[in-house]
């Protein structure tokens, strides 16, 4: 029997990360348009780059669908500059999400209550004398 291969994000077993990706996309659209960055309905290059990056991080998240929100993550796999950009976007969009996207906003608030996850410590390398 051949091994089963599933598509990440589009597969129903990845519902949480797929929804989180939609939430981030909605937040970035709100932020980008309200700040007059993009033309028409497109994201500006910086916001599009941030969305691509966040999507890739979600796809490769070490915690899978059990992940905490990235803001509560102890690993934090983002680069320092993009993490700061995302923090700025989230801080601006957070209070506005419930009005514009109530379901995504409520689910994201609930996700924020998920515990942070600590990874097991790596074994110490024995020191040679």
Residue placing its CB nearer to Zn ion in the complex, 11 or 46: 46
Q: For ligand SF4, which residue of 29, 67, 101, 108 counts as binding (CB under 6 A)?
A: 67
Q: Which helix (H) or strand (E) holds 107?
A: helix 102-111
* 47 near Zn ion, rule: CB under 5 A: yes
Q: For Zn ion, which residue of 27, 32, 54, 104 counts as binding (CB under 5 A)?
A: 32
At 115 the three-state DSSP class reads: coil
Radius of gyration of the chain measured on its C-alpha atoms: 17
> What whole-number distance in Å separates Cα of residue 69 and Cα of residue 87?
12
2-10, 25-33, 63-71, 108-116 -> range binding ligand SF4 (CB under 6 A): 63-71
* 76 near ligand SF4, rule: CB under 6 A: yes
Minimum distance, C-beta of residue 94 to ligand SF4, in the bound complex (Å): 16
Contact 54, 48 (CB under 8 A): no
- For residue 51, the Cα-to-chain-centroid distance in whole angstroms is 9
Beta-carbon contacts of 122 under 8 Å, excluding residues fewer than 6 positions away, are none
**Residues 6-45: x/- map of binding to ligand SF4 (CB under 6 A)?**
----------------------------------------
Residue placing its CB nearer to ligand SF4 in the complex, 33 or 65: 65
């Amino acid at each position: 029997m051949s091994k089963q291969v599933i598509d990440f994000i589009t597969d129903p077993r990845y519902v949480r990360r797929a929804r989180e990706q939609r939430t981030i996309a909605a937040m970035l659209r709100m932020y980008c348009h309200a700040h007059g960055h993009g033309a028409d309905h497109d994201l500006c290059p910086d916001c599009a780059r941030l969305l691509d990056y966040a999507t890739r991080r979600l796809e490769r998240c070490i915690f899978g669908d059990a992940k905490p929100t990235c803001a509560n993550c102890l690993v934090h796999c983002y680069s320092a500059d993009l993490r700061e950009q995302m923090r700025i976007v989230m801080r601006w969009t957070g209070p506005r999400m419930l009005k514009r996207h109530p379901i995504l906003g409520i689910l994201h608030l609930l996700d924020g209550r998920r515990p942070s996850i600590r990874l097991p410590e790596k074994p110490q390398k024995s020191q040679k004398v």
